[in-house]
Structure 1
């Protein structure tokens, strides 16, 4: 389950064009700690994992390889903040229409 966590964290960091230093500052850990996460030598705490998921605009479920094939969930991976906001507003309209 966690064997791909480091790979995913590094891939997401590179894809977001961030340095280890930038990510470390954003989530409140040291640069060396980011390196340990990315090499699977250390696991992030839950609060740090949540911060990383938010920073990379992905879910903790994705990072941990948790199956979210539930038909009531929707992946926001790869969407911009503007697109996510539009989806949230659309969902809220549907909720309020009942």
Structure 2
């Protein structure tokens, strides 16, 4: 078990423009939100990441704090780990279901 007390932040809106490279470049956004299956899987995977934030693939070699992982059968989650602040910032969630 981690000695950190991780927090999770879902980043939406103008602040997403501060992210590097293509990380914040838009896409299609649903006004309906994700289906219950996707939301349950997202919450479950996010809970796991709170305990093990490095248990995900690095997006960039030179910036290992930017990570991605899958959730459920059709979900991809992109986030940044800030170890100093014990914070996980989720900046992109995609569900193709």
Pairwise TM-score range, normalised by the shorter structure: under 0.3
The structure with the greater share of residues assigned to strand is: 2
User: Which is higher, the Rg of structure 1 or of structure 2?
Assistant: 1
TM (norm. structure 2) is 0.26
The structure with the greater share of residues assigned to helix is: 1
Q: Quick one: higher RCO (CA 8 Å, sep 6+), 1 or 2? A: 2
